[in-house]
Structure 1
Amino acid sequence: MRILVVGGGMGGTIVANNVARRMSKEIRQGKVELTMLSATDQHWYQPGLLYVAFGKMALNDICRDQSTLLEPGIKFFVDPVEEFELNENRVRTKSGVVHDFDLLVIATGCEAIYDEVPGLEKASETPYTKHGAVKMFKRLREFEGGKVAIVVGVPHKCPIAPIEITFMLHEFFEKRGIRDKVQLQYTYPIARIHNIENIAKWAVPEFERMQIDYETFFNIKEVDIDNKVVHSEEGTEKEYDLLVAVPPHRGMPVIEENGMGDDGWIPTDRYKLTMDGHDNVFVLGDTTNLPISKTGSTAHFESEVIGENIASIFRTGSATREYDGKVYCFIEADQDRATNACFNYIDPPEIKAPTKSMHMLKMSYNQWYWSSARGLL
């Protein structure tokens, strides 16, 4: 059996390692061939960019050579896929190499985009890219006070990010001793301050305690850079001295270019995690069109399901496990405290009061991530 994993981010890495361990005997015997194709030889811990933006981590803390994270038996090539020929069970890479497969796993991820909002890229600070995170930290250190507007594009990676960023801004300016000179203005596109109702209910009193202003039904239309004003689709506006953005995201261009999904999101069965119309193609992480959080934990839990099912398909001819929509998110608060949200398709999260121990667990996970990427946690 030829198993091909396209994408070397968290989802692709965990599922490849999961399959390699489950099927190590079959790989050694030559009954299974497991290959990964990636666009880069580096692996970035993307949630760590938020900590880079606040000076709590450095870029070299959140990067490893991809090859060091992979189990023996995985054939790894830095050669991104440019053409998916799914009906023929093959892909064609940038270098022109054709890879045939019996089972395909697509974990190409998503990326921040700015072309939908004029002025946003030039005017804003964001922790969603390596350059952006470093630039944001420098800007935060130089900022001496004024109006800070937090704007949110949709859809976006990591649903907790807008609230987390706002809490961390409050804490950062408080520790610098200038919080009384800063007016934090949080905006959100729908009728409450977060799309998950229980998180919104928990966050409102936290915002009020920290004296954070908030406005709902604020969908970014454009940024007037000269006058430092953000305009919304609803006709309102926010003045700013510092603009912090959670930019909108799209799936990777190669997905849409191959006609596999609008805006790069692949239509995916919410339980089987297979691509609609292709039972031998699995999709996970940020690449799916599923109405669930685009987070590392989502990719992790999906990877476990896919890994188990791939082994089962080889050995019994059918999958044995379904994905229940499980997501787990840490939520950084202020004063070195954190809480968490755990939920699935059926059960909403129950948010507990933030604690220092949960913050310590989150900071520890930033170091444990590399074991998690190998599928050891």
Structure 2
Amino acid sequence: MTTRIAVVGGGTGGTVLANKLTSKLAAELDADEVKVILIDETGTHVYKPVWLYVAFGRADPSEGLRPLDDLLDRRVRLRTSRVTDVDTAGKRLTLGDGETLKYDHLVLATGARLVPDRVPGLAEGAHDFYSADGAERLRDALADFSGGRLVLSVAGMPHMCPAAPVEFTLMVEDWLRDRGLREASEVVYTAPTERSHKLPPVADWTDERFDARGVEAHTDFAVERVDPDERTLHAADGRALDYNLLVTIPPHAGVDLVADAGLGDDGWVETDPRTLEAVNAEDVYAIGDTTDIERPMAGSVAHYQAGTVAERIAAGVRGHTPTATYDGKVLCFLEAGLDEATFVSFDYDSLPDLREESKLVHWAKGAYNESYWLTARGLI
């Protein structure tokens, strides 16, 4: 009897997982005892960190896109379709054309989606760099910016790449200096958290650099609405900030598929933080942004979690008790401007210890962006 492993979502987590499964279960796949099926709605893999560089004209959107066919091991069966229903009791997926697909093991890597409409006026009055189109529009807006009050506001949490708001703020401050616009501009940062970043060591690092560069920071600033006509950003506590150019991190949500299947609230799968098993269903795992685990929404998290789940599923296929666990490992670069960066690394049992930023780490981040496609293929 053939064991069917279904992976829903072709982002970092789903793609890395599918490729790792072909390596760990090579003999079973060659004997047709196992099938690995990846279902993705678009058939295109998106490397989202590129969008930040698109906003500054330092990358083209095409650099963040690859056909999934080019990234997946030939033994992975790619289905380009939308999953419309998950029946965890019957172990069955329903696809957009009405076809059903049975599974023995299911991994949800459905990611997060942007929901700017949850904040009135946000979609009309603000830019973002969390999509290819958004990054291109922001690039054009920055090119037209001749000075004034530029505000970066975190309008929702959790969100993809928790370092990105700090990165953008330091990069745009540097960018304004390069263009001779810094003296004619104010750079403002708002966050809904008590400090500039949720992690104290990152907040310490950020606060020091914001102070040195004259960035005006407002914390505990829960965005309530945007007034595009008046160009004003309003907080729930009554505070208001005027702006000439507003860049926001839009609110995020999971996918309706997850909530409809009874796997978690607001589209996030309720997940065991160590085993990555769905709490409310058997033989279901969740990785990456799909989970409700208190980990950053970052590609490195999805990558490490994919390794854990691949080991656990391979053990189960062979009739062994799965023992692999995820230790909460995170490794992220953090740009400190246009040509310097640092990085953070931590896990469930430790907090990050940030090093002094350097050009070397900035170049290392650029090199990783170029070599990311080897990571997606499961090669590094």
Range into which the TM-score falls when normalised by the shorter chain: over 0.9
**2:288 counterpart of 1:285:** yes
Match of 2:48 in 1: 46
* 5+ long unaligned stretches in structure 1: none
- Partner AA of 1:210 in structure 2: R
Q: Deviations over 1:114-152 (max 9, x none)?
A: 122101111111000111000000100110000011111
**CA–CA separation in structure 1 for the residues paired with 2:161 and 2:272:** 21
Match of 1:133 in 2: 135
Query: How do 1:145-294 residues align onto structure 2 when only pairs under 5 Å count?
Result: 145-152=147-154, 153-294=156-297
Pick one of 297, 302, 306 that aligns with 1:299: 302
Once superposed, what is the RMSD of the aligned Cα atoms? Answer: 1.0
* 5+ long unaligned stretches in structure 2: none
**CA–CA separation in structure 2 for the residues paired with 1:171 and 1:372:** 30
Assess if the C-alpha contact under 8 Å between 1:108 and 1:252 holds in 2: yes
- Partner AA of 1:58 in structure 2: D
Match of 1:311 in 2: 314
Query: How do 1:301-340 residues align onto structure 2 when only pairs under 5 Å count?
Result: 301-340=304-343
Assess if the C-alpha contact under 8 Å between 1:21 and 1:71 holds in 2: no
Deviation at 1:245, TM superposition (A): 0.3
Deviation at 1:255, TM superposition (A): 1.7
Query: How do 1:95-134 residues align onto structure 2 when only pairs under 5 Å count?
Result: 95-134=97-136
Assess if the C-alpha contact under 8 Å between 1:222 and 1:231 holds in 2: yes
**CA–CA separation in structure 2 for the residues paired with 1:357 and 1:239:** 37
Q: Secondary structure at the match of 2:18?
A: helix
TM-score norm. by structure 1 comes to: 0.98
Aligned length: 377
Q: Secondary structure at the match of 2:282?
A: strand
Pick one of 86, 91, 94 that aligns with 1:92: 94
Assess if the C-alpha contact under 8 Å between 1:332 and 1:338 holds in 2: yes
Assess if the C-alpha contact under 8 Å between 2:175 and 2:338 holds in 1: no
**CA–CA separation in structure 1 for the residues paired with 2:240 and 2:307:** 45
**CA–CA separation in structure 2 for the residues paired with 1:11 and 1:182:** 40
- Partner AA of 1:323 in structure 2: Y
Match of 1:365 in 2: 368
**CA–CA separation in structure 2 for the residues paired with 1:150 and 1:335:** 17
Match of 1:80 in 2: 82
Query: How do 1:27-66 residues align onto structure 2 when only pairs under 5 Å count?
Result: 27-66=29-68
Deviation at 1:278, TM superposition (A): 2.3
Cα 1:335/1:130, change in 2 over 3 Å: closer
Instruction: Calculate percent identity across the aligned residue pairs.
Output: 36
Q: Deviations over 1:180-210 (max 9, x none)?
A: 1110011111211100010001111111111
Q: Secondary structure at the match of 1:278?
A: coil
Answer with 316-325 or 266-275: which moved more.
316-325
- Partner AA of 1:358 in structure 2: V
**CA–CA separation in structure 2 for the residues paired with 1:43 and 1:335:** 26
**CA–CA separation in structure 1 for the residues paired with 2:61 and 2:132:** 7
Deviation at 1:335, TM superposition (A): 4.9
**CA–CA separation in structure 2 for the residues paired with 1:111 and 1:171:** 30
TM-score norm. by structure 2 comes to: 0.98
**CA–CA separation in structure 2 for the residues paired with 1:258 and 1:310:** 21
